[in-house]
Amino acid sequence: MPYKNTALKFLLFSLLWVSTTAFAHSPDFSSIIISKTENGQIVLQITSSLTAFQQEVNYVNGEGAYKSPEEFQNLVLQLFKSRFSFVLNNNDTIKFKNSKVLLGHETKIIAEINSLPKEVNHIYLKNTLFKDLHNSQSVAIFLLVGFPEEKFTLQRDNQHELNIILEDENWIVPTAKSDYISLKYLPYLITLIIGGLLLFISKK
């Protein structure tokens, strides 16, 4: 029995190490984590491979746009400011401070969040930091009380956006108003079409 437990732990550790290593090497995948530190500070962390950041910075600014790590970090922060949005309850745009880039094989953007509303019923998050990379995907995770516990994938299919509302203690994707309007008037449209057909037939 001890041998089996040891083997199981080793297998789980190996799988975790392989997945982490693969993530660090893949420019297509990134993660967005919003959590609270031990001292109560709410922090945003965006993680991807250094290759992903380099490819996007070069694509936007051209080859040779930076000559030092500091210049590269500044360009990454410019992308972050222009390509990342976090809005709560439709009108509360979240502000970030003390943003910094931690360079490494797995590179991170760390930013502090000034404050959050006491109650949250709508979440809009958009991350187009890596939108120019093929098959770019970001996994968003909220580790905060009152926020959804599941993870969400932002990708090209959803314009790299997360848009969800809280209804009956469940987080759901809101129905577009245009869809609602079209369904509302669908019976009238059907009646109009049938009436037109009958009028056409009667004339013939």
| 14: in domain | no
Owning domain of residue 154: 27-173
| 196: in domain | yes
Which stretches in the chain have pLDDT values below 50? 1-25, 178-182
Closest CA to 128 of 99, 148, 155: 155
Query: How far is Cα 202 from Cα 204, in angstroms, rounded to an integer?
Result: 5
pLDDT digits (tens, 9 = 90+) for 7-21: 444 444 444 444 444
Query: How far is Cα 110 from Cα 45, in angstroms, rounded to an integer?
Result: 5
Residues 6+ apart with CB under 8 A from 29: 23, 48, 137, 138, 139
Give how many domains the chain has, as a whole number: 2
Other beta carbons within 10 angstroms of residue 14's beta carbon come to 10
| 34: in domain | yes
Q: In whole numbers, what is the pLDDT of the chain averaged over residues? A: 83
